[in-house]
Amino acid sequence: EGMEFAEPVISIAIEPKTKTDENKLYGSLHKLVQEDPTFKINQNEETGQTIISGMGQLHLEIMLDRLRREFNIEVNSGKPQIAYKEAIRKRASARGQYIHQSGGRGQYGDVELEVEPIENGQKTFLDKTKGGVIPKEFIAAIKKGVERTMRVGVLASYPMVNVKATLLDGSYHSVDSSEFAFRTAASIAFKKASRQADPYLLEPVMKLEIRIPQDSMGGVIGDIVSRRGRIYHTELKGTIYYISGHVPLAELFDYVTKLRSLTQGKGIPNIEFYRYEEVPSDRAETIIGQGGKNA
């Protein structure tokens, strides 16, 4: 089953080649963002690199080309990174505690959370505690702990989507409880529950529409299928074949070059975002193995 998101699906780290370019880069990128809301920029806190994100590899290549042509800025760019997401299949609950007593004031947070899969767009946090088991002033900290953990996931550091967390129970200490302790306890409970809720990876799938000469049909179809593609429409008009299909973004990195070679430069592709779908389990294992910073 697919899920739709209007967020960027691919990102690249870029670095200006000169100090002059560095001074101009941020302002120029902001101008591009104002013109195109699907183009995003942010800073990697660990490396200080600028990350640009968009709706496909071609989208980012066009933006980098515009930086060169319109703003005269040269950048070095890294390897494209796909915006995978994480979700869960079933309901699960877990308790998280953050309790430290070491002379003087300690830390005390105790939280029981339930997680469940939801439809996109529904509320993601609900407080069902009764009788003041956790004072109201700590509920916002619990919500923050859940949201922070959702942003980094539980499988391979990708953000979680379509997950609802419900606060069921907990306890507090009149002296030692703090926002920090409850935020940490909530994060522990959310991770535990999500790992028991059969988590899985989602990947962006693209809609591919191509025009090719009739005699290239066999090679082009075979290539799409080898990329985990699904073809849903083919039509011959004169000597030109029109093909439509869905292909995971991860399989499209060299596609335009390959299509040119299969069609002697005559194939014309159009690639746009379609939706997110579950990553097959064998590929998910590889991705989790490469990016599993939350293990």
Q: According to the model, what pLDDT value does residue 121 have? A: 66
Which residue ranges in the chain fall short of pLDDT 50? 292-295
Say which residues have a Cβ less than 8 Å from residue 185's Cβ, sequence separation at least 6. 96, 97, 98, 109, 110, 111, 142, 145, 170
CATH class of 203-279: alpha beta
- Whole-structure pTM value: 0.84
Give domain 10-83's CATH architecture.
2-Layer Sandwich (3.30)
pLDDT at 293 (0 to 100): 40
Whether 10-83 and 86-197 share one fold: the answer is: no
Cβ 113 vs Cβ 93: under 8 Å? yes
In the chain, what are the domain boundaries? Answer: 10-83, 86-197, 203-279
Report domain 86-197's class. Answer: alpha beta
